[in-house]
Amino acid sequence: MTLPKFEYFAPESLDEAQQLLLDQGVGAHLLAGGTDLLVKMNHGLLKPASVIALKHIKELEAITYDPKEGLKIGATALLADVAAHADIRKHYPAIAAGAHETANVQIRNMGTVAGNLCNAAPSADNAPTLLAMDAEVEIKSATGERRLPLDQFFKGPGQNALASGEILTAIHVPAPGSGEGVSYQHISARGKVDISAVCVGVMVHMAENGCDDVRIFLGAVAPVPMRAAKAEALVRGKQLTEETIEAAGIAAMEESQPITDVRSSADYRKKMVAVLTRRALAEARDRALKR
Amino acid sequence: MKHPIELKINGDIYSLAVDPWRTLNEVLREDLHLTGTKLGCGSGDCGACTVLVDGRSVSSCLTLALEVQGKEIQTVEGLAPSGDTLHPIQEAFVEKGAIQCGFCTSGMEMSAAYLLSQNSSPTEQEIREGLSGHLCRCTGYIQIVDAISDAAQKMKQS
């Protein structure tokens, strides 16, 4: 098990990294935690000519929270640090849960939330909650920068919206408002350690006349994390009774498009979409009513 | 092209020239002959290669050697305080019969050391969660969980 040969660069500033990425061209690959990249290289799925390490760039590792601006998770912030961050646990418990329930202790001590998104696995544990919370990604290159809503970032299994020369530098999540509740639910074969067979992120906003806003995202049941629009339509404008939640679970199950693979059958995935959507809606509702 | 690096491992400093594509696991085992750290799955699932970097447990098979330059690395060889005294975690593994073939043991012990550095009196559930990134194909985990629980108590007493 030897990695293919490559050149290695460890820039200490973002400017330097962007210039390197430009100079090295299409054969260059960015390295954050390496927990996906090195596995792919080990298995011969990826042979980058050069690897540009991001963990030596101090400005990329920060996690900041502001009650007005919301949350900013830097590109190299570790899953373990996101999961343990006091402000994230308090104001974004579903984001903390997603990070905490990604893989195992060692991987969380190496891997990053941004890397989990860039790897663009349909099953990415951190995607559904961030999608439900309307997160945006901050993308920078030598020639400029842009913000992209996360729901436009995933292009297919392993495919993201980054163009050549671009670096995802941070994830921005709006400040949670009053009446808002978020939940993340997932299930996998090997306890919480294995890649999720199904994962669900839900955000609801509860007003006096019921749920006036909802976003439901399903992971590992389509080529990219998918929005369950039909389930949302059944919930929007309604009180979140057990009957409404049950109906939304069934709608999400019907609109999901899972495949059968080593982790689960399509049939089981569909059934779990219903169960996890119900659980997530109930928890998001309960959290919203507490705020 | 080889890069000159200094690695600080178990308090000793090693000056090496390393190709970029070599992992910390390869350098530990092949160059430095610190073979207590094992290589299992090569994909972060089995935990046999676990070492501590700046006090945090990581998979050495998924870590480039060049990425840990200047950091404090601890392997199972650095766990025991001396050549003839075992670390309380190692003692407990022996006493509780938590070792059979031994292949998973060094990784398990490093994760136990990390867990106990974060939480000096973990519950059984917390120990199991702390070991979730490890596979053992011999003992069935119960003796391993018992050993870590026992080590936690002894380390608190001393």
CA distance A45 to A159: 14
CATH tag, A180-286: 3.30.390.50
Which residue of B50, B64, B66 is in closest CB contact with A106? B50
Q: Is B29 left (phi over 0), alpha (psi -120 to 50) or beta?
A: alpha
pLDDT at A195: 85
| B88-157 homologous superfamily | [2Fe-2S]-binding domain (1.10.150.120)
Assigned fold of A7-52: 3.30.43
Q: Which B residues 5-64 touch A at CB under 8 Å?
A: 19-23, 26, 39, 42-45, 47, 50, 56-59, 61-64
Quick one: DSSP state of residue A152? G
Give the model's confidence band at A205: pLDDT under 50 very low, under 70 low, under 90 confident, else very high. very high
CA distance A16 to A22: 10
Which residue of B1, B66, B133 is in closest CB contact with A106? B133
Q: Which residue has the tokens 């919370």?
A: A133
Which residue of A1, A51, A105 is in closest CB contact with B130? A105
CA distance A84 to A95: 11
Query: In chain B, which residues have their Cβ closer than 8 Å to the Cβ of A109?
Result: 56-58
Q: Is B33 left (phi over 0), alpha (psi -120 to 50) or beta?
A: left
Distance from CA of B77 to the nearest CA of A (A): 19
CATH tag, A61-173: 3.30.465.10
- What are the pLDDT digits (tens) for B93-115? 999 999 999 999 999 999 999 99
| Helix extents (H) in chain A | 14-24, 37-42, 79-84, 86-91, 93-100, 105-108, 113-119, 127-132, 229-235, 242-255, 266-290
> Among A67, A66, A28, which Cα is nearest to A49's?
A28
Chain-chain contact of B132 with A6 (C-beta, under 8 angstroms): no
CA distance A260 to A255: 16
* Candidate from A134-138, A191-195, A198-202 with smallest mean pLDDT: A191-195
Chain-chain contact of A42 with B47 (C-beta, under 8 angstroms): no
Whether the CB of A193 is below 8 Å from some CB of chain B: the reply is: yes
Chain-chain contact of A39 with B56 (C-beta, under 8 angstroms): no
- Which residues, in sequence order, are CB contacts of B34 under 8 Å at separation 6+? B9, B28, B75, B77
Q: Which residue has the tokens 């329930």?
A: A101
Chain-chain contact of B50 with A191 (C-beta, under 8 angstroms): no
Give the model's confidence band at A98: pLDDT under 50 very low, under 70 low, under 90 confident, else very high. very high
Give the model's confidence band at B83: pLDDT under 50 very low, under 70 low, under 90 confident, else very high. confident
Q: Where are the domains of chain A?
A: 7-52, 61-173, 180-286
pLDDT at A192: 61
Which contiguous run of DSSP H or E holds residue B53?
Answer: strand B50-53
DSSP state string for A30-75 = EESS-TTHHHHHHTTS---SEEEE-TT-GGGS-EEEETTTEEEEET
pLDDT at A289: 92
Which contiguous run of DSSP H or E holds residue A181?
Answer: strand A180-187
Is the pLDDT at A193 greater than 90, yes or no? no
Query: In chain A, which residues have their Cβ closer than 8 Å to the Cβ of B148?
Result: none
Q: At B157, is the secondary structure helix, strand, or coil? A: helix
pLDDT at A167: 98
Q: Which of B54, B59, B114, B141 should be substituted to probe chain A, the one whose Cβ sees the most A Cβ atoms within 10 Å?
A: B59
Which residue of A8, A103, A191 is in closest CB contact with B20? A8
CATH 3.10.20.30 holds for B3-77: yes
Is the pLDDT at A226 greater than 70, yes or no? yes
CA distance B130 to B118: 10
Q: How many CB pairs under 8 A join A and B?
A: 88
Chain-chain contact of A104 with B67 (C-beta, under 8 angstroms): no
> Among A165, A161, A163, which Cα is nearest to A22's?
A165
Count how many Cα atoms sit within 13 Å of the Cα of residue B6 in the half-sphere of its side chain. Answer: 7
Query: In chain A, which residues have their Cβ closer than 8 Å to the Cβ of B115?
Result: 105
Chain-chain contact of A103 with B1 (C-beta, under 8 angstroms): no
The answer to whether the beta carbons of residues A114 and A75 sit under 8 Å apart is: yes
The whole-angstrom distance between residue A90's C-alpha and the CA centroid of its chain comes to: 19
Q: Where are the domains of chain B?
A: 3-77, 88-157
CA distance B95 to B90: 9
Is the pLDDT at A217 greater than 70, yes or no? yes
